[in-house]
Amino acid sequence: MSRDNRRPTGSRNPHAMNRRQFVKLTTQGMLTVGMLSACSDDDDDSPIDPDPDPPIPPIGTVSPESFPQSVASGDPRPDSVIFWTRAVNQEDPDAAVDLTLLIGLDANLTNIIAEINLQAQPQYDHIAKLKLSNLSPDNTYYYRFHFTNGSGTLASRTGRTKTAPLADQNADVKFAFISCQDYRGRWYNTLKYLSTIGDVDFVVHLGDYIYETTNQFDAPDDLGGRVVSFSEPETAIPTDGETLAARSISNYRDLYKTYRADPSLQAVHEQFPMICIWDDHEFSNDSWGVNGTYFNEAADESDVARKRNAERVWAEYMPADFGLNSNGNLVVGDESLYPNTRIFRDFQFGANLHLLLTDYRSFRPDHLIPEDAFPGAVVADQATLEGVFANQGVPFEAVAQNFFPYVNIDDPAMALYKTVLTGALIQQMVSGGFSEADAQARAVAAISGNIATFVANAIVNAFNEVSPQPLPLIQEEGLPVGFAYFMLGKQDLFSPSGLGSRYFVVKSAFDLYAGLLFQLTQGASENVWGSAQEDWLIGRLTQSDTAWRVIGNSTSMTSMNLDLSKIEFLPDQFRQNFYLNIDQWDGLPNKRATFLGTLAANGIGNTVMIAGDIHNSHAANHGNGVFEFTVAGVSSTSFKGFMRELAQGPPFSEIPGTAVFVENLEALMLEASPVINSETGEKQMHYTRSGVHGFSVIEVNANHLTNTFYHLDEQEAFTNQYDSATLPAKFSTKQFRAVGTDLEEIF
């Protein structure tokens, strides 16, 4: 890569050091930072010693058992990097380990510029992590940890890291980004290949570094040894008869220790500094704030202690500037954890790249559709709808046919119907495992207020089939009309698998519903970043003067639609245009539009968003010089694989031709993508791959930004190919270039 500030041939090496210039930093216990310079002492005019110092003694024997998670570095800035390891003294596994960190300018560590004493403490699971300042910009460093016990000096493998160029440097920058690396039963062949790409400056991890669940009954042989076991399973959350979800510090540490023992993941950390954020699985699937979603609101899943445990262990195990005190030492204080969490931060790499990382999970509100909403409950009555459309200048009579009649089920005239509906719901919940008392309390709460006659009469019909005294259907003529949850695609209480609440939601109905809530709550319903983070993000973007801005989101802003409205043989309820997943930004359409509008209003072009989470690759143009690249998962079940699993269960398994839709998923999503330019017909989504794993590499210079997708077929994750010479040949690539307002496919 070209660098404008390269040293002329034959000039003096500014990093050359002799033994008299060697810097050694020692503290009691943890490291105090701020004294290290990689430059030689240019003012030293002492005569050269004709008898040079003897060679530096050997660093020790490389001992993977003593450093079971190897080494890592992260958050590179022009003058600082974070260094990380986990060290265990096999002779006394419970004791603190007194470590030495060596930092040098060559891979053999013969030109050492710093020797630093620090400690891996048991209270942090024997992890040592520090932020080292006063490094030189745009420079590659090599590092190694070692300690001495009765067996001798034991060393880690050597890591490589690199600082960022200075803000005024016209530097080309090349970085990779990854997401979603499920360990269980899968191999990180994508990471093995990534670790061999030598000219990447750093790697961005966009979340789902771990998955918080494990199957307590899995045998290692069944999954090729790729299993996670909790050392304290009694502290975990049983989500069903087989699966445990991490809750305690011990549980989360077990996950990171297992994942970080993988040699391909270790190789990536050893080769490149990493900049990371979290998504949901570092805490809990589809999480929001301190809440999980395993039970779809059939149980209270708010758990502050669990959220703080997850954050604490993330701070320990990730080479991020989080969980450090003002001296750069690993000190995970309660004051830094939820609700004071701050992992959103930004980095500048020369004059061409400003990287901004966001936190999508910690401050966001609940998903807009309650998982425990009764499908027949009316969320907006006629008076509310009339007011909303009046504000938009639309006569309600023009849209009334899109809504459904409802009755107030608490009206005394509806008493018999209320009894039948409540009884049916109680019976359904008891058969689903609820106690009689709990089922009754929930049913009474659900069957109240305004209820859509469409749902009420469906229950009455079912009642009449078994009752000796049939009940007349509720007459709909003359009734007011409103918006009910079933219109969104919700068919069941507690939304099994999130259907109709987080997945497979009717787009037109959801857009109306989300807009209604956004208006009524003055935007609070979609305040995903929280006010402080959003103010920071907009402020940093408006002040940014680099050639390009890259925003790291854990989830994608690109719409993923599946339009089945024209498939005539489908049942009516499936002939809709669906949002496939509203846990991502499709579930926040008004905030997304507001944010993109703010960028356009402020003339903030040359902006690229990168995202993960969805296990699907796509390239998109949001218009006005704003683009997005979403990366496939490292190893997690591909989006197409997820859709296959979904299609095999109810209600989709009862629909003919579902498999055809799944296998043609890419074409259907491209067809359903919204149009961003009515004159040219350009659609938002330009490209998508759904049945792959992979990573992406972005290259930035003053003129353009290119993204190269590296894809591996999803089946390749199930075999260990770490030693395969043919692995690179199995990857396919697709490259796009962003120039001005155009997204160009290169190859």
Whether the pLDDT of residue 1 is over 70: the answer is: no
Tell whether 611 is covered by a domain. no
**pLDDT band at 566; cut points 50, 70, 90:** confident
**pLDDT band at 151; cut points 50, 70, 90:** confident
CA–CA gap between residue 369 and residue 507 (Å, rounded): 13
Tell me the pairing of strands 548-552 and 353-357. Answer: parallel
Query: What DSSP string runs through 370-432?
Result: -TT--TTBEEE-HHHHHHHHHHTT--GGGTGGGSEEEEETTSGGGHHHHHHHHHHHHHHHHHT
Name the least confident of 154-163, 260-269, 327-336, 521-530.
327-336
Tell me the pairing of strands 404-408 and 682-683. Answer: unpaired
The 3-state secondary structure of 185-254, one letter per residue: CCCCHHHHHHCCCCCCCEEEECCCCCCCEEECCCCHHHHCCCCCCCCCHHHCEECCCCEEECCCHHHHHH
Retrieve residue 187's tokens: 């191999």
Retrieve residue 311's tokens: 């954050």
**pLDDT band at 218; cut points 50, 70, 90:** confident
Q: Which domain holds residue 57?
A: 1-163
What pLDDT sits at residue 114? 94
CA–CA gap between residue 614 and residue 555 (Å, rounded): 7
pLDDT tens for residues 6-40?
333 333 333 333 332 334 443 333 333 333 444 33
Tell me the pairing of strands 607-611 and 626-630. Answer: parallel
pTM across the whole model: 0.92
Distances (CA, A) of 729 to 164, 449, 694, 725, 733: 32, 62, 13, 9, 11
CA–CA gap between residue 627 and residue 737 (Å, rounded): 10
Residue 431 C-beta-side C-alpha neighbours within 13 Å:
7
Q: For residue 451, give every residue at least 6 positions away whose Cβ sits within 8 Å of its Cβ, in sequence order, or none.
A: 374, 376, 377, 378, 406, 407, 408, 409, 421, 484
What pLDDT sits at residue 256? 98
Residue, of 573 and 474, whose pLDDT is higher: 474
Residue 724 C-beta-side C-alpha neighbours within 13 Å:
17
Specify which residues 102 forms β-bridges with.
115, 144
| Cα dihedral: 515, 520, 526, 531 (round 10) | 140
Q: Name the domain boundary from 489, 517, 545.
A: 517
Retrieve residue 370's tokens: 């309650």
Cα-trace Rg, the chain: 29
User: H/E element holding 473?
Assistant: none
Single-letter amino acid, residue 241: G
Specify which residues 98 forms β-bridges with.
119
Burial class (CB in 10 A: 0-12, 13-18, 19+), 263: middle
Residue, of 328 and 496, whose pLDDT is higher: 328
Whether the pLDDT of residue 419 is over 50: the answer is: yes
Tell whether 2 is covered by a domain. yes
- 658-664: long-range contacts (C-beta < 8 A, 24 or more apart)? 661/562, 661/564
| Cα dihedral: 249, 251, 257, 262 (round 10) | -150
Strand order in the sheet with 404-408: 378-380, 481-484, 404-408, 450-452
Q: Which residue has the tokens 């009752």?
A: 467
Taking residue 169's Cβ as centre, other Cβ atoms within 10 Å add up to 18
Q: Which residue has the tokens 């080479």?
A: 319
Asked if residues 256 and 210 have their Cβ atoms less than 8 Å apart, the reply is yes
| Exposure string for 567-588, b = 16+ CB within 10 A, e = fewer | eeebeeebebebbbbbbbbbbb
CA–CA gap between residue 124 and residue 253 (Å, rounded): 10
Tell me phi and psi for residue 100, to 5 degrees: -125, 130
Whether the pLDDT of residue 49 is over 80: the answer is: no
Distances (CA, A) of 719 to 269, 561, 713: 22, 32, 12
What pLDDT sits at residue 219? 72
What pLDDT sits at residue 647? 86
Tell whether 473 is covered by a domain. yes
Distances (CA, A) of 304 to 6, 125, 311, 362: 50, 22, 11, 11
What pLDDT sits at residue 58? 59
Q: Name the domain boundary from 486, 517, 548.
A: 517
Distances (CA, A) of 428 to 293, 295, 300: 21, 16, 20
CA–CA gap between residue 745 and residue 747 (Å, rounded): 6
Query: What DSSP string runs through 94-132?
Result: TS-EEEEEEEESSTT--SEEEEEEEEEBGGGTTEEEEEE
Tell whether 17 is covered by a domain. yes
pLDDT tens for residues 632-691?
999 999 999 999 988 888 888 887 778 888 989 999 999 999 999 999 999 999 999 999
Averaged pLDDT score across all residues of the chain: 91
Name the least confident of 243-257, 475-489, 529-543, 564-578.
564-578
Q: For residue 520, give every residue at least 6 positions away whose Cβ sits within 8 Å of its Cβ, in sequence order, or none.
A: none
CA–CA gap between residue 78 and residue 217 (Å, rounded): 48
pLDDT tens for residues 232-267?
999 999 998 889 999 999 999 999 999 999 999 999
Whether the pLDDT of residue 295 is over 90: the answer is: yes
CA–CA gap between residue 412 and residue 404 (Å, rounded): 22
Handedness of CA 610, 316, 31, 340 (dihedral sign): positive
The number of domains in the chain is 2
Whether the pLDDT of residue 498 is over 70: the answer is: yes
Q: For residue 682, give every residue at least 6 positions away whose Cβ sits within 8 Å of its Cβ, in sequence order, or none.
A: 621, 675, 676
CA–CA gap between residue 667 and residue 687 (Å, rounded): 9
Tell whether 102 is covered by a domain. yes
User: H/E element holding 345?
Assistant: strand 345-349
Whether the pLDDT of residue 54 is over 60: the answer is: no
Packing angle, helices 415-431 and 436-446, rounded to 10: 140
CA–CA gap between residue 466 and residue 420 (Å, rounded): 12
Residue, of 719 and 53, whose pLDDT is higher: 719
| SS3 state at 507 | helix
Q: Name the domain boundary from 131, 163, 195.
A: 163
Tell whether 458 is covered by a domain. yes
What is the distance of C-alpha 223 from the center of its chain? Answer: 25
Q: For residue 8, give every residue at least 6 positions away whose Cβ sits within 8 Å of its Cβ, in sequence order, or none.
A: none
Retrieve residue 152's tokens: 């001798």
Tell me the pairing of strands 80-86 and 237-238. Answer: unpaired
Handedness of CA 398, 399, 403, 407 (dihedral sign): negative
What pLDDT sits at residue 651? 81
Tell whether 538 is covered by a domain. no
Where do the DSSP E strands lie in 402-515? Answer: 404-408, 450-452, 481-484, 503-506
Tell whether 725 is covered by a domain. no
Mean pLDDT of 460-480: 96
Asked if residues 164 and 137 have their Cβ atoms less than 8 Å apart, the reply is yes
Whether the pLDDT of residue 144 is over 50: the answer is: yes
Q: Give the CATH number for residue 77.
A: 2.60.40.380
Mean pLDDT of 492-513: 90
pLDDT tens for residues 302-311?
999 999 999 9
pLDDT tens for residues 349-386?
999 999 999 999 999 999 999 999 999 999 999 999 99
Retrieve residue 237's tokens: 């959350």
Whether the pLDDT of residue 127 is over 90: the answer is: yes
